[in-house]
Amino acid sequence: METFMEEFQHLKIQLDDIKSATNNFDDNKVIGVGGFGKVYGGEISHFKGRSMVAFKRLDRRFGQGDPEFWKEVMMLSRYTHANLISLLGFCDEDGEKILVYEHASNGSFDRHLSSPTFPWIQRLKICLDAARGLSYLHDDKGTQQRVLHRDIKSSNILLDRYWNAKVSDMGLSKIGPANQLHTLLVTNVVGTIGYVDPMYMELGILTKESDVYSFGVVLFEVLCGRLCIENSNGMFSCLVHMWKQKYKDKKLDDIIFRDPMQEINPRSLEIFSSIAFQCLHKSRDERPTMSVVVQKLETALDFQINGGKTHQESLVGINRNKNQSGMDSGSNASSSDEKTKNSTAEDEEDSRPSLTNIGNGPPEYIVDWTQENSTPASQKTKNPEFSRKYWQLVQHQNGLRIFEEILEVDLLPKSCSKAMKAVGVVEASCEEVFEVVMSMDGSRFEWDCSFHYGSLVEEVDSNTEIIYHRLQLDWFPTFVWPRDLCYARYWRRNDDGSYDVLFCSREHENCGPQPGHVRAHIESGGFKISPLKSGNGRPRSLVQHLMQIDLKGWGVRYVSSFQQHCVLQILKNVAGLREYFAQTGGSIAPKIPNMVSANKSRKFHLTSVFDLDHRSQLMDEFSDEDEDFQISDEEEYAIE
C-alpha cells in the first residue's frame, strides 16, 4: 500500500480545499447521486483551465468501500482516453474518501433518452464515443492489460459540455491478461439488473463479451428512448427480451422512440439495430468485439450524415491505394513517416517531401474547398480521400487534411477565394497528428474541419491538449447553412519553437445570405502554442487568444435588443471570452476584449484594446509574408 500511495501521491488533494470548494459538502452543491455516494460540483484552483470539477464522496451506506475507491484511482490514472472520464485527483484524509473528476456538465446519458428534442444524430455520436472508450479498455494490443468494466449502463455514460461521451464508474472493473484470445475471470457476479450478461449471471465467468452484452442493452435503450427496466405500479420488469423479439419479428416500429424515428435514415437504422441485436446474442461467440461495434456505428453515422456516400468513397479509396503507404480509412496507427511507393514526379520535385509523402500524395488540381463540390467540372479527382465528404467522416476520428497555399497560378476558377492545393491526409493517433503539425515550419499551410451547426466553441483534445474549434448551434434562429461559413486555420513556427495560429471563420464571397436567417461573421486569431512537457511526458500547450467579432448580414428588421441577445449568446460560447463574462456577469453589453492570456500564476487577465501596444505585431491572413499576419483593421470592439 505504501508503494501504491507513492505512485499516486501527485494526485492527492487536501480535504480543506475540497470543503472550501463544496461549502463543507453543502447539499445545494450536490449534482448527482450514484452507487458510490453523493457527487458535488465546485471550483478548485488546482487544475488549469477547469472552472468546475466534480467531487464524488464515498458513502459506505451505499455498499462500496475502500477496494472500489482505490480501484477507481488506479484504473483512471493508468488508463486514459478521450472517451473515459478523467480522474483529476483524490482525497484520503480524516476518514473521508473523495474522488475528483472532470465535470460532465450535461449529466448522464440516461437523463436524455426520453427527450423528444434530443436528435438521433446526437444519440449516434454519443453511442460511438462510448463504444470507442470501451473498445480502448478491451484493447488486446501490446502489453496493456485488458479491462472488463462490469457495469456498463446508460447512467455510467457521462456527457461533457460539448456532448462528448465519457465512460465512468470503474470501481467494479476487473483487469485481465493481455495478448490472449480470450480473457476469462471467475468472480462474484456484480452489475446492474437488466444490463448484466445472462451467461455471467449463470456461470460467474466474466469476459469482455459480458461488457458487449451490456452495451447492446444501452443501444436498444437509445433506440427505444427508455430504460431497460420498467416500473409499473411498483412491479419491475426487464424489457430486453421484448426488444429482441420485436427485432426478430421485424417489428422495430413498435418500439422505436417516435420523436427521433422521423429523422432516422433507414440504412442507418438497419445497421444500428443489427449491431445492437448482435451484442445481445446468448452465445458469447456470436457477439461482436467492441472494435467491430465501433466500425458499425461509424458506418451508421455516415449513412445518417451523408447517405453512405462517405463510406462508399472511403472503400473505393482503400481499394485503389491498398498497396500504397499512408493512412487506411479504418486505421488508428500513423504512417505519416512512410514514403508513398508510387510517388509522382510532382512529389519528387516538391520542396517539402515530408508533406507530399503524407497519405496518398497530392492531386493534380487546385480546389476551392469551401464549396461542397469543389472539383472543377473538367477534371476528375484521382484521390477520393481528398473529397470533402470523405473528410467529414475522418473528422469524427483523429486526423487532418492539409492544403498548401499556391501564390502563383496560371488558371484559377472565379469561385476560388484562395488557391489551395491538397498535399496530404493524415489519420492517426492524436500524438502522431501533433507530430505532423509540429513538422510544418517556414511556410503557411491550411487544413479544414467539418462543421456542426451553431456557435464557435472551444474543444480541448484530451491527449495533446491542443485547442480545436467546432460550430454548435444553441441560439435563435435555429439554422445556419453550412456554406454560409468557411473555416481556415494557419500555423507558423517561430524561432523559439512556439507556434502562431490564425483561425478564421468567414462568409464566402459567392454565397448570398439565406433569406430570413441571421448570419454572423466571426474571426479569431492569435493563438500562441508553446509545447510543454508535463510529468507524464505528454505534450501540453500554453495558449494566448485574440478574438474579434464583426456582425455582417444582420437583417434590419431585427430590433436592437434582439440583436444584442443573439450576440451575447454567441459570445458566451466563444473560446477565450468566458473569463471576461465572468467579470461582467453577462448582464451588460460588454466591450470585447482584445486579448485573453495567461500570466505566471495561470490566472487569465484581460488586455483592453484601448491599452494595446501599437508596436504589437498583428497577424494578416491575406499577407504573402509569413511573418506579417494581420487581423482586419476595421473592427467594432464594443456592442452598442
Cα–Cα distance, 155 to 169 (Å, whole number)? 10
Beta bridge partners of 91: 98
CA 6-12-16 angle, to 5 degrees, is 145
The secondary element (H helix, E strand) that includes residue 88 is strand 87-93
- Backbone φ and ψ for 620, nearest 5 degrees, come out as -110, 110
Q: Which residues does 402 contact at the CB level (< 8 Å), separation at least 6? A: 355, 358, 422, 423, 424, 425, 426, 445, 446, 447
Q: Which residues does 373 contact at the CB level (< 8 Å), separation at least 6? A: none
Q: Which residue do the cell numbers 474543444 mark?
A: 459
DSSP track, 10-77: GGB--HHHHHHHTTTT-GGGEEEE-SS-EEEEE--TTSTT-S-EEEEE--GGGS--HHHHHHHHHHHH
> Of how many residues is the chain composed?
640
Query: Binding residue per annotation — 97?
Result: no
Cα–Cα distance, 217 to 633 (Å, whole number)? 56
HEC profile of 273-312: HHHHHHHCCCCHHHCCCHHHHHHHHHHHHHHHHHCCHHHH
- Backbone φ and ψ for 505, nearest 5 degrees, come out as -120, 120
Burial class (CB in 10 A: 0-12, 13-18, 19+), 610: exposed
Cα–Cα distance, 556 to 436 (Å, whole number)? 46
Task: Report the relative pairing of strands 499-506 and 521-533 from DSSP bridges.
Answer: antiparallel
CB-based contact 486:505 (threshold 8 Å): yes
Q: What is the largest CA-CA distance in the chain?
A: 77
Instruction: Please report how many Cα atoms fall inside a 13 Å half-sphere around the Cα of residue 355, on the Cβ side.
Output: 27
Cα–Cα distance, 131 to 273 (Å, whole number)? 15
Of the residues 92, 139, 140, 151, which is catalytic?
Answer: 151
Q: Which residue do the cell numbers 468567414 mark?
A: 506
From residue 132, alpha-carbon distances to 174, 290, 621 in Å are: 18, 8, 37
Cα–Cα distance, 137 to 121 (Å, whole number)? 25
Whether residue 347 lies in the annotated active site: no
Cell of 333: 496507427
HEC profile of 111-149: HHCCCCCCCHHHHHHHHHHHHHHHHHHHCCCCCCCEEEC
Ranges of beta strands (E only) in 396-451 are 399-405, 420-427, 445-448
Among residues 401, 402, 382, which one has the least CA distance to residue 316?
382
Cα–Cα distance, 583 to 610 (Å, whole number)? 18
Catalytically active residues, by annotation: 151
Which positions make up the binding site for ATP?
56
